[in-house]
Amino acid sequence: MSATAPQTTAATAPAGPRVVVLDHGSGNVRSVVRALEAAGADVALTADREQALAADGLVVPGVGAYAATLAQILAVGGDRIIERRLAGGRPVLGICVGLQVMFDGGEEHGEQTRGLGQWPGEVTRLQADVVPHMGWNTVEPPAGTLLFDGVAEQRFYFVHSYAARSWEMEQIGSMRLPQVTWAEHGGDRFVAAVENGALMATQFHPEKSGAAGAALLGNWLRSLPRTQAQGTAPAGGAAAPAGGAAA
């Protein structure tokens, strides 16, 4: 009587970090989803509050006008989701206008719009001969950057007419200041990225920045703390808020 060979089961590869791309009507979400998936994330495109709170990371994309993007984010309760995540030290990544709305406000066509207020300062029109700033550009990351690890000398793809052209957060006591990456267009310097604890953001589009953008997204994904129970939002308040108002 012949023995039956034991069945072998192939090892199941661990799932990538769970990331929600906030679905608020932005036009660039599909390319963001594909880029995150290619970088190894398990991605959901949704505005569902519970999924957004439970995810390992939340991505807030944005293209077009400041006021319109902010209105879309507010319409799906994105401001409360972002605030709740940051209050618990849960990572958020803004892209393009998703970076801009994190500031106190923005000015477009003479109209002021109040932003989410995570960082002090205003978003204003670039002061350059050629606007919009469209194409590949180098950046100036600070020492110790996480996002630009291994790609500090690379070029990234920008499409924008407005930017945060100054950084207004001052040192208070022993508070650790955010790491700010700069870029320049037509002699006008502007904020290209911010790394502020759980809150990070880029003015450029990593999803359109080829291998350099893919590496940057990979750096962010590897930094995400992984939740143990899928579908269960972690308790808030365990870590200090990452937003500028309380950083």
Contact 210, 216 (CB under 8 A): no
**What does pTM read for this prediction?**
0.87
Instruction: Give the confidence band of 11 by pLDDT, cuts at 50, 70, 90.
Output: very low
Contacts of 172 (CB under 8 A, 6+ apart): none
Q: Is residue 245 scored above 60 in pLDDT?
A: no
Measure the CA dihedral 75/240/98/165, to 10°. Answer: 130
Quick one: pLDDT at residue 13?
Answer: 53
Quick one: pLDDT at residue 170?
Answer: 77
- Cα–Cα distances (Å) from 206 to 36, 58, 59, 192, 200, in that order, read 10, 15, 12, 11, 13
Looking at every residue in the chain, the average pLDDT score rounds to 89
Quick one: pLDDT at residue 22?
Answer: 98
Give yes or no: 185 in active site.
no
Quick one: pLDDT at residue 60?
Answer: 98
Q: Look at 31-45, 47-61, 92-106, 226-240 and tell me which has the smallest mean pLDDT.
A: 226-240
Q: Is residue 10 scored above 50 in pLDDT?
A: no
Selected catalytic residue, list 24, 160, 185, 205 = 205
Contact 102, 115 (CB under 8 A): yes
Give yes or no: 207 in active site.
yes
Selected catalytic residue, list 24, 96, 122, 133 = 96
pLDDT in tens, 122-167: 999 999 999 999 999 999 999 999 999 999 999 999 999 999 999 9
Instruction: Give the confidence band of 176 by pLDDT, cuts at 50, 70, 90.
Output: confident
Q: Look at 3-7, 14-18, 27-31, 84-88 and tell me which has the smallest mean pLDDT.
A: 3-7
- The b/e string for 3-24 (b: 16+ C-beta within 10 A; e otherwise) is eeeeeeeeeeeeebbbbbbbbb
pLDDT in tens, 18-64: 999 999 998 779 999 999 999 999 999 999 999 999 999 999 999 99
* Top-level class of domain 18-108+115-169+177-223: alpha beta
The arithmetic mean of pLDDT across residues 86-98, rounded, is 98
